[in-house]
Amino acid sequence: MIEIETPNILGIEFWSGCNLRCTYCPVSDPGHKADEMGADMLDRLYDYVYAHPPQILFLQCGGELTSLKDWVGKTQRFMDLQMPHPTMQLGITSNLQKRLAPEEVAAIARFNYFLVSIDAADEDLQRAIRPPAELRNAVMNIAKIRTHCLAAGTEPPIFRMNCVVSDRNARQLDRVFAFAAALGFKEVYLLDVDETVPHGADGPRGLRHMDDETFLAVLQHIQAGVPKLAANGITFTPAKNFWHTLMLRANGQAADHRFGPGETKVCLEPWTYAGFLANGTVAYCCGGIQDSGIDPAWPIDRQVNCETVRAVRDGLLAGGAAVPERCRTCAFAEKGHVRTLAGQVADLPHIRPDSDRQARSMTFPWTIMPDSAIPSYPDLRTERFRELVPASLFTMPRSGTWYLFYFFEFLDALVSGRPWIKTIHGFEDYPSLGFFKLHMHGIYPGFESAGHPDFVEKWRGMNRDDPAIDASRGTIQQYQDVFCPHLNERARVIYVYRNPLDQIVSAFHHKARHRVELGIDRDRYQTAQVAYLNEYARTEGIDLFLAQFMTFDHMRQRAGEHLLMIRYEDLMADPATMFRRMLAFLGADMDSPERQAAIARALEITSRDQMREFERMRGRSLAGDRGEAGQSHIQSGASGRWQDVVSADTIAAIRARMAEFGLDLDSFLAIPQAE
């Protein structure tokens, strides 16, 4: 049995009344009764928070606080708890429809987080969705709060826009994003309509039930809008129920409420949240786990750890058939393994000791964006992209391609706060890091036009009939003025290359095991593997290596500071140093303690063991390219394995072939040692 000392987030609903009648909210029900929390309960909550301060104290977890008479006086002592507990943060949600008096503005200015409910940037649409809301009231109140803080020399609250997405506003989300930027919001939080609440035949429709054209508009606005939000310093944070439903529908999938052994909902809210409602009910999550039978006379500690929430915690940690019914159908959490949830619970700082902790596993807080939802290449010549460094990151096959991709993908997610990652490399837009990148197997950008004509002609006569050598050709040709350093002074190129003997051996096995035929005779691979490998190495293998490597080597002097070449062996021996070198080369500002911590976390997540766990979690290899189920894309990455299989005759042939281009095989073979 796991109990908590105090929730991370504790909410207090001073009253459940509201001055709006939003079309999707149960408060709009004519039978809704507005309750106000009693003085005795408020006294006991005050004593509890004083003794057990949460990380965030929300002074309204329902209703509209500013419509309560004398709300400032009734909340004053709770706000004053920041004096003995300065690390405790204060939060509030409001529609900001009341014209705030000066004392109300001064009170709100004390909050750390202010969540403003706005669903549209159009006044008529906002009023239709949230009658009788007037946008000008919210705009004026935000201006009053900011003015007060500027005059007082204090930091204003962090303003977050809470937007409920329905078929009413789906086609105007781009305007909502722009409105958030214009008003100086720091975060946009999207929620889905709660369809467990009846809205009538003419009520708003959420993501599951809006028509296909409207749903496509939501996808398009998010794909186009999130980079713009990031460019304006705004974090995009979809609610879990919003993102989960969006991804299911985008992939044409239905929610699966079946749970096998070891499966559960990976949700921490029963351990991290408690909301005390005005009617005496205690809520333990945003998905509907509540207990309305609590005796108000119970100690607050007992209410935080009542039998209802204990049963939910136990059921989630047991998994399978024990997962509570309400949790099974909840869209606010993803299905995962019990080990994952147990590991996350074990990391919580406020958990009471428990003798039966389960094995810890990989903590993975991101949603995976489906391939179908990944946007195509944007126009890279727009003003926004001119402010970022254009980067090309090229690798040889089997030389750290996916390692590099996932490191930068996780790092940007950690720094920017975006809630998803993608799993296909190609074009990545990382405004939080200050660059965008083309990430492929390819030759040096512009080599054929900028290289010496005689050398280029010799190169064209080589065996290079493999798309892995120059998969970037089409994109580079379209955007030569963006990615080619001889045409764009700001362009940067990173090339990671490997000892040719290890690269050839690894690529040979990779092709043979690929789910697609890549020119390897699989019968010969099974019956005469070593002989076949040596034949491949001294012909096609070395020519494919040279066809890519020598374009970078040839351009090295001309490229100067625009080109960074890194040995794969150095990357494996000291990834922290090599990745920091790449980030510095791209001009990314990573000096702050928070960003250094993000680098350390990205390195941890992309360790070999963690990425294999990631493969197991997804049920496929990193690249989705293995021919047999259960095969991993990740191999040992060790240097020198060629010595067990490459013959002396093959080495001599490779040495001679490289010498034709002025390259010395021995210069590639030194194995670095990790410091």
**321 in any annotated domain:** no
Q: Give residue 590's Cα distance to chain centre.
A: 19
Higher per-residue confidence, 333 vs 160: 160
113: pLDDT strictly greater than 60: yes
Distance CA 263, CA 318 (A): 9
pLDDT tens digits, one per residue of 297-332: 889 989 999 989 999 999 999 999 999 998 988 878
- Cα distances (Å, whole numbers) of residue 19 to 123, 134, 161: 17, 12, 19
pLDDT of residue 675: 40
pLDDT tens digits, one per residue of 145-200: 999 999 999 999 999 999 999 999 999 999 999 999 999 999 999 999 876 666 66
> In terms of domains, do 283 and 397 share one?
no
Tell me the backbone φ, ψ of residue 2, rounded to 5 degrees. Answer: -105, 125
Distance CA 477, CA 475 (A): 5
Under 8 Å CB-to-CB from 305, ≥6 apart: which residues? 3, 4
Lowest mean pLDDT among 109-118, 127-136, 622-631: 622-631
pLDDT tens digits, one per residue of 398-442: 788 889 999 999 999 999 887 778 888 888 999 999 999 998 888
pLDDT of residue 330: 85
What is the domain extent for residue 227? 9-255+269-298
Distance CA 593, CA 601 (A): 12
pLDDT tens digits, one per residue of 247-293: 888 888 887 888 998 899 989 999 999 999 999 999 998 767 887 77
46: pLDDT strictly greater than 80: yes
| Residue range 61-66: mean pLDDT, rounded | 88
> In terms of domains, do 518 and 378 share one?
yes
> In terms of domains, do 391 and 246 share one?
no
- 634: tokens are 């990740």
| Residue range 50-70: mean pLDDT, rounded | 90
**349 in any annotated domain:** no
Question: Where residue 62 sits, what CATH number does that domain have?
Answer: 3.20.20.70
Distance CA 55, CA 85 (A): 10
Q: Is 640 left (phi over 0), alpha (psi -120 to 50) or beta?
A: left
> In terms of domains, do 580 and 446 share one?
yes
128: pLDDT strictly greater than 90: yes
Distance CA 664, CA 647 (A): 18
Distance CA 376, CA 373 (A): 9
pLDDT of residue 482: 94
- 338: tokens are 């019990």
> In terms of domains, do 553 and 439 share one?
yes
- Cα distances (Å, whole numbers) of residue 43 to 76, 90, 585, 658: 13, 18, 57, 82
Q: Are 131 and 124 in contact (CB under 8 A)?
A: no
Q: Are 99 and 141 in contact (CB under 8 A)?
A: yes
> In terms of domains, do 209 and 293 share one?
yes
Question: Where residue 446 sits, what CATH number does that domain have?
Answer: 3.40.50.300
Burial of 258 (0-12, 13-18, 19+ CB in 10 A): exposed
**423 in any annotated domain:** yes
Distance CA 328, CA 88 (A): 33
Distance CA 247, CA 242 (A): 9
> In terms of domains, do 187 and 40 share one?
yes
pTM given for the model: 0.57
The count of structural domains within the chain is: 2
